[in-house]
Amino acid sequence: MKKLSHTTGAGKADMVDVSGKPMQERTAIARGHITLAKITRDLITENKMKKGDVLTIAEIAGIQGGKRTSDLIPLCHPLMISKISVTATLDATGVSVESFAKCTGQTGIEMEALTAVSIALLTVYDMCKAVDKGMVIDHVSLISKEKK
C-alpha cells in the first residue's frame, strides 16, 4: 500500500519537502459544472441577474480563488503562478467552467486549477441562489496535468 505523502510515519499531517525536486514548467486543466433551472439560464443569458454579469464575475472569482489556493488548503505549497485562466460557459443544462493554470516550480499546480473551477462554480451558485433552489455542482475534475 502506498504511503500518503502528507503524513509522517506517526500519521501526523506534514507538508511535503519539495526542495530536492527540479524546477519545471507545470500546467493543469480542470473542469466542473453547475446545473441550473431554465429560468436561471434565461436570466443569465439576458444579463438580468440582480447581482450582475454571472459568467464574468465567476471567471474573475475563479482566478482570484486559484491564486489563493495555498491560503485555503492547509498543506498546499504557495506557488509562483504565471497564468490562471477561467472560462465559464452557459450550456443546455447550466454553466460549465474550465480553468488552466501554469507555473514554473517544484510541485504541481493541479490544486490551483481545481480551486479556480470550484470557486467559479460557487460564485455562480451565490449569484443565482435567490432564484434557483435546485442548483447542483458536479463533475469537478482534473482533466490533465503536465510537467516539462
Share of the chain above pLDDT 90, in %: 81
The average pLDDT across 3-30 equals 81
pLDDT tens for each residue of 56-113? 999 999 999 999 999 999 889 999 999 999 999 999 999 999 999 999 999 889 999 9
User: What is the helix (H) or strand (E) element at residue 120, kind and residue range?
Assistant: helix 110-128
Residue-by-residue DSSP string for 39-77: HHHHHHHTT--TT--HHHHHHHHHHHHHHTHHHHSTTPP
Q: What is the pLDDT of residue 29?
A: 98
The catalytic residue positions are 126
Q: Using CB atoms within 10 A of its CB, is residue 93 exposed (0-12), middle (13-18) or buried (19+)?
A: middle
Q: Which three cell numbers stand for residue 56?
A: 464574468
| pLDDT the model gives residue 78 | 92
pLDDT score for 2: 64
Q: pLDDT at position 3, please?
A: 61
What pLDDT score does 12 carry?
77
| Confidence (pLDDT) at 7 | 67
pLDDT given at position 19: 85
pLDDT of residue 4: 60
Inform me whether the pLDDT recorded for 136 exceeds 80: yes
